[in-house]
C-alpha cells in the first residue's frame, strides 16, 4: 500500500505568515490528492482536490501544488481561524490513505 507522510507534524506561526505543509506519497499518485482541514472539535472539511483545485467557498489564501509523489498545501497569510489540523488524502486507488496530519497553531 502507498503511504502518505506529512511534514511537519505541527507548526506554530504568526498571523500573516506564509505556511507550507508537505505531503509525500511513497509511490506516484498522479494528482489524486485532496487536503482537508479539521478545526478543533469539528468535522473535516475539504479545501483542495486534484492537488491544486480549490473547493468552492474556500478562501483564496489556501493553495495546493504538486504531482506524482510530492505535494504542498500553502496558506498565504495565516489567519486565527486557520488554527486546525490539516490532512492530505490520496484517492488514486484504495486504500484511500490519509496523512498523519499537521497541527497548525498561532504563535
Partner 1 sequence: EVQLVESGGGLVQPGGSLRLSCAASGFTFSNYWMTWVRQAPGKGLEWVANIKQDGSEKYYVDSVKGRFTISRDNAKNSLYLQMNSLRAEDTAVYYCARVECSTSCYLDYWGQGTLVTVSS
Per CB under 8 A, residues contacting partner 1 are 1, 32, 34, 36, 38, 43-46, 49-50, 53, 55, 85, 87, 89, 91, 94-101
What is the radius of gyration, based on Cα positions, of the chain? 13
State which residue, 85 or 104, has the beta carbon closest to partner 1: 85
Under 8 Å between Cβ of 75 and 84: no
d(CA 37, CA 88): 9
d(CA 51, CA 30): 9
Nearest approach, Cβ of 7 to partner 1 (angstroms)?
14
Nearest approach, Cβ of 49 to partner 1 (angstroms)?
4
Nearest approach, Cβ of 14 to partner 1 (angstroms)?
26
State which residue, 34 or 104, has the beta carbon closest to partner 1: 34
DSSP-assigned beta bridge partners for residue 105: 12
Amino acid at each position: 500500500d502507498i503511504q502518505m507522510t506529512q511534514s511537519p507534524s505541527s507548526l506554530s506561526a504568526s498571523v500573516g505568515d506564509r505556511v507550507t505543509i508537505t505531503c509525500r506519497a511513497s509511490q506516484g499518485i498522479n494528482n489524486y490528492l485532496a487536503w482537508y482541514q479539521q478545526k478543533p472539535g469539528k468535522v473535516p472539511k475539504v479545501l483542495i482536490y486534484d492537488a491544486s483545485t480549490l473547493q468552492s467557498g474556500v478562501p483564496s489564501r489556501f493553495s495546493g501544488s504538486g504531482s506524482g509523489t510530492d505535494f504542498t498545501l500553502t496558506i498565504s497569510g495565516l489567519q486565527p481561524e486557520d488554527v486546525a489540523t490539516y490532512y492530505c488524502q490520496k484517492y488514486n486507488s484504495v486504500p484511500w490513505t490519509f496523512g498523519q496530519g499537521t497541527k497548525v497553531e498561532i504563535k
